Amino acid sequence: MTPPVFPARFSVAPMLDWTDSPCRYFLRLLSKHAVLYSEMVTTGALIHGDAARHLDFNARENPLVLQLGGSNAQELAQCAKLGEQWGYSEINLNVGCPSDRVQNNMIGACLMGHPHLVAEGIKAMRDAVGIPVTVKHRIGINGRDSYQELADFVGTVAQAGCQHFIVHARIAILEGLSPKQNRDVPPLRYDIARQLKQDFPDLHFTLNGGIKTLDACEQHLQEFDGVMLGREVYANPWLLREVDQRLYGMPGHSPQTRTEVLLSMRAYIERHVQQGGKVVHVTRHLLGIAQGFPGARRFRQLLSADIHRSDNQLAVFDQAIEVLQGK
């Protein structure tokens, strides 16, 4: 297992319905050192549902962070221990998701209004596990968006033992905006995140939100301990190819061509199908690898449309590989 890097200089954000195990396996082929995150998993899903379905992953995905959603300290501790036993490198608490559904269960960004509750959960998890426990949060929520309130939140949670904060540098609007709108409408305030770094010099801060290039990552790393990218990586995963060298100063293990990546994923798909999975569970994550190349439209058509109409989906994937042959 690759040893975890704490705090990560570069990480791929947890993205619900996207960063599942097949997606993470694919991304790991492109960067050896980037830290990957699971989708958010609620404590209820682990305690009352099929824990194995939510927690299982390929060991090659490490370093891998399990992101939990919940607010009950005892349940968070129980689930953090499960994550440690399963082999995750780190546990992260979601204090940033703005969806109505999770708010009703006291999960996500609404917890920014309850810093002592977050602190209780962090302490319980830290007492339960030996791996790092971190928090991913916004810079505020509507009605509680002053810098002083944010600093009080960070200070309270830090006293419970959290040393690493992943800061999505937007507030969350808990009423009236969808989760998608909450990723774009509230303005980015990197200056607020920068102020946290200055005011809490003994803590680690990772910057998240609106970062699209490795040039921008290098600039932000002059002030922050880490950077986190989400949808940009999903849309253009090939940018991960340069992360190991440019941001870690270390050689990676990524293939030289997109074709090599796709051939590695073909072997993964065969194993996935043998275990009862479907080809499209994997191929849906691969569309972005063709971005900017001749044949990209045909590649995406094969994997987003034609493959769903075929009785031989692996053969359609082979056609897609041929479109990018040698690229």
Residues with catalytic roles: 97
- 249: exposed, middle or buried (C-beta count within 10 Å: 0-12, 13-18, 19+)? exposed
SS3 93: strand
SS3 82: helix
SS3 278: coil
Q: Which H or E run includes 164?
A: strand 164-172
- Residues 6 or more apart whose CB falls under 8 angstroms from that of 95 comprise 108, 109, 111, 112, 118, 135, 136, 137, 138
Beta bridge partners of 65: 37, 90
Can the peptide bond before residue 3 be classed as cis, meaning omega within 30 degrees of 0? no
> What is the amino acid identity at position 102?
V
Helix extents (H) in the chain: 21-28, 43-48, 51-55, 73-86, 100-103, 115-128, 147-159, 179-182, 190-199, 214-220, 231-235, 243-248, 258-274, 279-283, 296-304, 313-323
In the chain, the N- to C-terminal Cα span, in Å, equals: 30
- Residues 6 or more apart whose CB falls under 8 angstroms from that of 306 comprise 316, 319
> What is the amino acid identity at position 86?
W
Number of H helices, E strands in the chain: 16, 9
Residues 37 and 233: their CA atoms lie apart, in Å, by: 13
